[in-house]
């Protein structure tokens, strides 16, 4: 009795199948196996992405009710770092007196802003702000001249 050409012994790819299988069945099994091997890692890597909690800080600096440009602003993570001048980040405000610090971890920060208005006096302000995850916190720093 001669076997049909649609049947063969699949022992290389499937050694755990010691019996004769239909060729079309093997092709379906092989296709499903390769799809499983290719798609499973793709699905597993795409399922979970670590989201780091962070928020943004938008600061506007003013003096006498007007926006003050070119003010240097420092952000400190703690009061101790503020006292030790160990700032986390700094920058200068734009023409509209605005600056944005992005991707800050949630928590309390201390701010210092300073601008030399003339050779006679310096404008400054120290304040604190609370950053909330997933939100932009807005802060207005009203600069003050030194007390006489």
CB 91 within 8 A of CB 74: no
Q: Is 131 left (phi over 0), alpha (psi -120 to 50) or beta?
A: beta
Q: Is the C-alpha dihedral spanning 7, 11, 14, 20 positive or negative?
A: positive
| pLDDT at site 69 | 94
Cα(68)–Cα(15) distance, integer angstroms? 78
Number of H helices, E strands in the chain: 2, 10
Q: Tell me the β-bridge partners of 140.
A: 60
Reading the chain (148 residues) residue by residue, the pLDDT tens digits are: 555 544 444 445 555 545 555 555 656 676 767 666 776 676 666 666 677 889 999 999 999 999 999 999 999 999 999 999 999 999 999 999 999 999 999 999 999 999 998 778 899 999 999 999 999 999 999 999 887 6
DSSP 112: E
């Amino acid at each position: 009795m001669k076997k049909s050409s649609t049947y063969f012994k699949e022992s290389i790819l499937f050694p755990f199948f010691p019996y004769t299988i239909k060729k079309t069945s093997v092709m379906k099994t092989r296709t499903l196996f390769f799809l499983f091997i290719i798609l499973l890692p793709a699905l597993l890597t795409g399922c979970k992405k670590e989201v780091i909690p962070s928020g943004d800080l938008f600061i506007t600096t003013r003096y006498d009710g007007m926006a003050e440009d070119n003010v240097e602003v420092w952000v400190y993570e703690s009061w101790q770092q503020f006292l030790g001048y160990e700032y986390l980040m700094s920058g200068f405000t734009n023409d509209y007196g605005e600056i944005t610090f992005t991707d800050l971890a949630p928590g309390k920060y201390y701010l210092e802003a300073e601008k030399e208005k003339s050779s006679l006096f310096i404008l400054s302000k120290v304040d604190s702000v609370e950053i909330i995850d997933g939100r932009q916190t807005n802060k207005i720093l009203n600069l003050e001249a030194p007390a006489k």
